[in-house]
Each structure stands twice: as structure tokens, then as C-alpha cells.
Amino acid sequence: MDYFIHLAILFAIYGILGLSLNLVVGYTGLLSVAEAAFYGVGAYVTALLLVNAGWNFFAAMGVAVIASAAVALVIGLVLSRFGGDYYALASLGFGVIIYSIFLNWQAVTNGPLGIPAIPRPDFFGYVIGDEASYLVMSLVFLLLVYVVSRFIVRSSFGRAIRAIREDEAAIQVFGYRAINYKLLIFVIGAGIAAIAGALYASYITYIDPSTFSVNESIFVLAIVILGGLASLRGSLFGAAFLVLLPELLRFVGFPDTIAAQMRQAVYGVLLVVLMLYRPEGLTGEYRL
């Protein structure tokens, strides 16, 4: 049962990351491979405020969201000069830069040793310490992010970002400044990713840079693509599927140690097969 709750919490965290990245990649067509950077900024800012300053978790999360959005604003401004494949490469570059800051800015991040003993959230005196209440809180945040994302994609703003994905030059002719739209959705996506980072830090109670490497960005990208580009429900589905995948492998008879290692390979194979036979993802309508 505990293990099931653990998986469900991971589902909530990756669901939030999937929704966040889908706004950027699926709806706007910006192939960002920097998701782990914003996830990491969210986790580190939350952890530092909790551990070093004794802040309340929710206030720390709020600051983490703002910090991540601010970082995204700077990165997004630079990225807006790139298009297509170069965009992906440049965002990858930023992912690596942020990762190496986590790793090397020892005075603040404690480098590879990471930050231990991160406390659990305190909600008006009630400590969300046990796994079951943590799951409830995580699901509440997931729901919140889902509702906000749905509002965004169904608004005129959501229609505009899809038009940018379809033909940026053509939509500009009708008076849109595409760069503003691309920046704003990138910043919103980064803010949402920071929520996932905060939840992760306080849940695991320990963070180190390895969680926020480029591998993680690719994992979230796999969630988005597998679930379906420009499909919010798809991202939830993709998160559930990829979080449960190691368990499925174990279930069909792979030994524990191999199942864990097979994970990466299976993601890879899945992605390739999907791109070949169903490039719009399992539930999506759109193609990259």
C-alpha cells in the first residue's frame, strides 16, 4: 500500500511536469529540452528556504515559482532568437548550464552532496508528514495545474499559441507579436514545473543535482510525446504510464535489478516505435 502511494505521488509530480511541458512543446511547438532546469530551480529554492531560512513550505513554493519564472524569462529571451532544431539544441544547452550550477555552486547548493533533511510541509500547524496526506496534497496541486492549463489552452491565448505552432510567419501578419506569446507560455511552463520541484523536494526530503540532469528533461518529454502533444489528459496518461512502467516490467517477470536498468532502454524503444507508427502520441491529435 505504501508503495502504491509512493507511485501515486510520483504520478502527481510527473503529471504536473507533463502538463507544464505540454504547454510549451505540444501547444506552442517549442521543442524545449530544459524542463529539468525549472523543475530543479523549484526544488532547490524550496529546499534552501525550508532548510536555511525555516520558511513555510507554501510560501517557499510561491517564491520558487517566481524564481523559476524569472530564470525562464531570461532563458526564453535568448531562445526566442532560435527556431526549429536550433531551439531544441539551445534549450538543451541551458539545461546543461543550470545543471552544472546545481553541481558546482557549492556554497549554496552543497554541490554533489545535495541538500538533506528537507522538512515536510506544515499547513497551519498540521504537518503533512505521512505519505497519504502528502498524496492528497500532491493531487490537489495536480488538479489545480490541470484546471489552470485547461483554462489557458481553451482561451484565445491558447488558440494563438497553437497558431504560432502551425505557422508563425502567417499569424504575425494578423498583428500578433509571436515572441510575447512564446515568452509568456515558456515562463508559465517554468512556473508550473517549479511546483513539481517543490513537491519533490519536500516529499523525498533530500535533493541532489543528479535528479535534474538532461535525462530528466528527456523523461518528461517522453511523457508528453507518449501521452499526446497538445492533449492535457494525454500528459496525465503518459505520466501514469511511464511511472508505472518499471512495475509493469517487474510484473511481466523481469528481475528487479534488470527492470530498473531496462527502464531507460524501454523508454527509448517506445519513443522510436511511437514516432514511427503514431507520431501524434497515444491520445493526441497533433504532430510535432
Partner 1 sequence: MLILETKDLSKRYDGVAALDGLSLGIEAGAVTAVIGPNGSGKSTLVNVLSGVAPKTGGRIAVSGVALGRITASDVAAYGITRTFQEVRLFNQMNVMENLLVVLTEKNVFGAILERHAEKHARRAEELLRKVNLWEKRSELAGGLSYGQRKLLEIARALASGADIYLFDEPFAGLFPEMVKIVEGVLVELRREGKTVVLIEHNMDLIRALADRVVVLDGGKLLAEGATAATLGRREVLEAYLGE
Interface contacts to partner 1, rule CB under 8 A: 152, 155-157, 159-160, 162-163, 165-167, 169-178, 180-181, 184, 285-287
Give the residue with the Cβ less far from partner 1, 101 or 178: 178
Give the residue with the Cβ less far from partner 1, 118 or 185: 185
Phi then psi for residue 220, to 5 deg, are -65, -40
Write the CA distances from 205 to 63, 100, 252, integer angstroms: 18, 21, 32
Least spacing, CB of residue 73 vs partner 1, in Å: 13
Least spacing, CB of residue 173 vs partner 1, in Å: 5
Least spacing, CB of residue 48 vs partner 1, in Å: 32
Give the residue with the Cβ less far from partner 1, 163 or 223: 163
Give the three cell numbers for residue 251. 510484473
**DSSP-based three-state secondary structure for 80:** coil
Give the residue with the Cβ less far from partner 1, 172 or 215: 172
First to last CA, the chain: 39
Q: How far is C-alpha 11 from the chain's CA centre?
A: 12
Give the residue with the Cβ less far from partner 1, 12 or 165: 165
Write the CA distances from 82 to 9, 31, 221, 230, integer angstroms: 36, 11, 19, 22
Least spacing, CB of residue 174 vs partner 1, in Å: 5
**Alpha carbon distance 217, 224 (integer Å):** 11
Cell 530544459 locates to 34
Least spacing, CB of residue 171 vs partner 1, in Å: 7
Give the residue with the Cβ less far from partner 1, 116 or 159: 159
Least spacing, CB of residue 158 vs partner 1, in Å: 8
Alpha helices in 54-83 (DSSP H): 57-79
**DSSP-based three-state secondary structure for 146:** helix
**Alpha carbon distance 260, 247 (integer Å):** 9
Least spacing, CB of residue 78 vs partner 1, in Å: 19
Cell 523508454 locates to 267
**Alpha carbon distance 139, 279 (integer Å):** 29
Give the residue with the Cβ less far from partner 1, 131 or 168: 168
**Alpha carbon distance 36, 96 (integer Å):** 9
